[in-house]
Amino acid sequence: MIKVIAVDMDGTFLDSNKMYDEQRFDKIFQQLKAQNIKFIAASGNQYAKLKSIFGERDMFFVAENGAVIYEGNTLYDYQAFDRDFYQAIIDYLNIDRGINNLIVCGLNSAYILKDNTDAFKKDAHFYYRKLKEIDSFQDLPEDEYVKIALNINRESHPSLDEDLSNKFSENLKLVSSGRDSIDLIIPGMTKGSALQRLLKYWEINEEDLMAFGDANNDLDMLQLAKHSYVMANSEDETLFKVANYVAPSHDEQGVLTTIEEKVLHPLN
């Protein structure tokens, strides 16, 4: 029996235009709520971005790849990096490797450099509703830092993944949120671990969890759920081996269709 549904956003719940059928979802959401089925948006995105997508709905948000959990407007749980260790990673990327296009993700806001290109700023503002421009990454504002986001140019930085893993070893994990987008997160602080904490709190078994994803940062979430769905549009072959089912693509509103057919109207 499905008691919890967790969905990734980009490439999963949202279509290629970053949209979804709001009227259809609202009807589904009300039906889920009437059946006491919890709905969770589980994403690498910032909480403020997720909130802008769903509005004032009584639901849970697993943001920043599992580092931050909100229940509606209330901060439920979070885990931040050690500040000195976090600064060392930033300095390595920014100073040693000459990478300026970083999004430094804090609990209160995300931060980019004032001298970043307009194109980068536009893209950053799309994904981070709370975003501030700062003069230097070596003088970070007071905040609790939960993630670093960047796009890796594989031609100019062919060994960056390996170099980061070797230099910061067990204290840093790299996950892909699609193509060249990389999130640097706290090991063990993932979407799957966030869902485990919530299931434990609710005293709900993993067998009652349905989850949808399309990228590497959805892997442990799909491994956790008995009712796991990889999106047909996914480019990650591993997910097709891990997930128990394949949902129609995000451009076919595969998440909504699957919920309707498998949860709300399973006998139709």
Pairing between strand 145-151 and 102-106? antiparallel
Say which amino acid occupies 59: M
- Give the count of beta carbons closer than 10 Å to the beta carbon of residue 260: 17
C-alpha span between 184 and 173 (Å, rounded): 6
Catalytic residues: 8
Q: What whole-number distance in Å separates Cα of residue 183 and Cα of residue 6?
A: 20
Q: CA 181, CA 215: separation in Å to the nearest integer?
A: 11
Q: How far is CA 126 from CA 6, 65, 167, 224, in A?
A: 23, 17, 31, 30
Cα–chain center distance at 89: 21
Give the strand order in the sheet containing 227-231. 74-78, 68-71, 60-63, 38-42, 4-7, 209-213, 227-231, 245-247
Task: Write down the H helix ranges in 15-170.
Answer: 22-34, 47-54, 83-91, 118-127, 160-168
The tokens 């007071």 sit on which residue? Answer: 142
Query: Which helix (DSSP H) or strand (DSSP E) does residue 227 occupy?
Result: strand 227-231
Pairing assessment for the beta strands 209-213 and 227-231 based on DSSP bridges? parallel
